[in-house]
Amino acid sequence: MGDIVDLTTWPRHHNIFYKITSNGLNFEIKAPGNAGIGLASKAGPNCDFLVGIGHNRNSFIKKLTARVSRESAETPNILSSQEYRRFWISWYGDVIRLGIDGEVKPIVTFNYSKNDNLKYVTFTAIDDNRNPVHWRIELPPVLEKPLMKPVTDGELYWVQVDAETPFPDAAYIGGYEKENLYIIRAKHRGSLTPGKFVSSEGVGYIPWGGDANEKNSFEVLCGFNCMWVPCRLDHIPIGAVVAGHSEDHGHEKLYVGRAKYFDHIIPGKVQPSHKVCYIPYDGKEVSMENYEILIVPEKNRCANKFLVPCIDDSLLESEDENDDNDDHSMNYDDYDEYFYAENL
C-alpha cells in the first residue's frame, strides 16, 4: 500500500504532478461540482488525457491533443458534497479505464496508443462555479531501479561425483529435458569430455564417437559466476569455459556448450575444429552449428596482446534472461560484434 495524500483543488488552480510507478491508482472524491484527473507522459503545463468525473451529469475520458477524441457515459449524482466516494482508474493494455470501487466493469473506457507513455498524474476541479474538490489519493510506492552490481563470488569449480558421493547442492543447472540438466565432464578414451547429468536416471551422458556414452563417475560443474552467450561454428568468445580436451595428440580444448533440440535445452561439448556443439540425446551424439556457449564475464581480458572489452550486457537482452538459470530460448541474430579469440 502506498501513501495516502489528502488535498483540495480549485478551478484554474495550479496543479501538482505526481509520478506514478504503476498503471493505476485508487482515490476518493468529495465535491459538490465536478472533478478531473490529468494523465501525462511528462510533467508540464499540458496533459495528454483528461478524465472527468460527474461533469454535467456525465463522466468522460478525453485525449486533449486531438480535436475530437472522447468517450463518455451518463453518471448522474456520482459525486457528493457530503461524503467521500471511492473510484479507481487504470491505464494498461492500450486502454484507459475509470470505475467505481467494488465494481469490476468500468464506467467509461478509452483506447489509446502505446506511444503515450503515461507516467504522471494530476488532480483538478473542472467547475465554472468555483467549487473545490476534496481528494484522498492512494499513491503507489516509488520503486527504485535496482543497481546492477558485479558478481564477486560464485566462481566455477568441479566436484567429483560417483556412487558413494552425494550430488553437490551448488551444481549449476545447464539445461532442461523434462527436468533440470546439470553440466558434467568425464574421462573417455583419452579425452575429458563435457556432457549432461539426468537426475531421475542418476546417470551422466557425454557425446563422443557418435554416441551418448553413459557415465556413473564424473565431475559436476558448480558455482554461478557465468553466463550463456549465442555462438556458432568455431567462433569461441573470450572467457569461454574450458571443460576438457580431446583424445588426439594435440589435446584440443573442449568448451561447455548447450543447444536447443526439439523442445529441450541440452548441454554438451563445443569442439572448435569440428565447428559444432555436440549434445547427447536419445543415445546419440547430435551436432549443432548454432548453440550457446558458457563464459565467465571478466573485464579487460587480453588476447594476442590486444585489449578485448568485456561483453556489453545490453547486447544480451532477449525475451528470456538467464538470471534464474532456466532460459529455454535462443536468438542467434545480431551478434556479429562480439569479440572472439581462437586457440587461446
CATH of the domain at 79: 2.60.120.200
Convert the pLDDT of each residue in 158-170 to its tens digit.
Answer: 999 988 888 999 9
Indicate whether 260 pLDDT > 50. Answer: yes
Euclidean distance between CA atoms 194 and 186, whole angstroms: 7
212 and 114: one domain?
Answer: no
Residue type, 248: D
Convert the pLDDT of each residue in 236-255 to its tens digit.
Answer: 999 999 999 999 887 899 99
- Residue 10 covered by a domain: yes
Euclidean distance between CA atoms 81 and 131, whole angstroms: 10
- Residue 330 covered by a domain: no
Indicate whether 338 pLDDT > 60. Answer: no
Other CB atoms within 10 A of residue 249 CB? 7
Maximum mean pLDDT: which of 14-28, 144-158, 317-331: 14-28
- Contact, 55 vs 6, CB < 8 A? no
Shortest CA distance to 28 belongs to which of 69, 68, 84? 84
- Contact, 142 vs 38, CB < 8 A? no
- Contact, 46 vs 171, CB < 8 A? no
Predicted confidence band of residue 334 (pLDDT cuts 50, 70, 90): very low
Other CB atoms within 10 A of residue 113 CB? 9
Euclidean distance between CA atoms 162 and 155, whole angstroms: 23
The confidence score (pLDDT) of residue 324 equals 43
- Residue 322 covered by a domain: no
Among 139, 168, 187, the domain-final residue is 139
- Residue 206 covered by a domain: yes
- Residue 7 covered by a domain: yes
- Three-state SS annotation for 221-260: EECCCCEEEEEECCCCECCECEEEECCCCCCCEEEEEEEE
- Residue 108 covered by a domain: yes
175 and 121: one domain?
Answer: no
245 and 297: one domain?
Answer: yes
- Residue 340 covered by a domain: no
For residue 40, give the 3-state DSSP assignment: strand
Which residues pair with residue 99 across a beta bridge? Answer: 88
Mean pLDDT of 6-20: 82
Which residues pair with residue 133 across a beta bridge? Answer: 9
168 and 303: one domain?
Answer: yes
Shortest CA distance to 204 belongs to which of 187, 188, 185? 185
Shortest CA distance to 153 belongs to which of 168, 170, 136, 165? 170
Kindly give, in sequence order, each residue whose CB lies less than 8 Å from that of residue 56, ignoring residues fewer than 6 positions away. 34
Shortest CA distance to 10 belongs to which of 36, 45, 40, 43? 36
The string of DSSP letters for 151-211 reads --S---EEEEE-TTSPPPTTBPEEEESSSEEEEEEEEETTEEEEEEEETTTTEEEEEETTE
Predicted confidence band of residue 21 (pLDDT cuts 50, 70, 90): confident
- Contact, 156 vs 243, CB < 8 A? no
133 and 167: one domain?
Answer: no
103 and 161: one domain?
Answer: no
124 and 168: one domain?
Answer: no
| Cα-to-chain-centroid distance, residue 136 | 34
Per cent of the chain over pLDDT 70 is 82
Residues 306/312/315/316 CA torsion (nearest 10 deg):
110
7 and 70: one domain?
Answer: yes
- Contact, 280 vs 294, CB < 8 A? no
The residue among 327 and 295 whose pLDDT is bigger is 295
Predicted TM-score of the model (pTM): 0.51
- Residue 150 covered by a domain: no
- Contact, 147 vs 64, CB < 8 A? no
Number of domains in the chain: 2
**Mean pLDDT over each residue of the chain, to the nearest integer:** 83
299 and 171: one domain?
Answer: yes
Domain membership of residue 39 as a residue range: 3-139
Convert the pLDDT of each residue in 44-57 to its tens digit.
Answer: 778 889 999 986 77
Convert the pLDDT of each residue in 188-221 to its tens digit.
Answer: 999 999 999 999 999 999 999 999 999 999 999 9
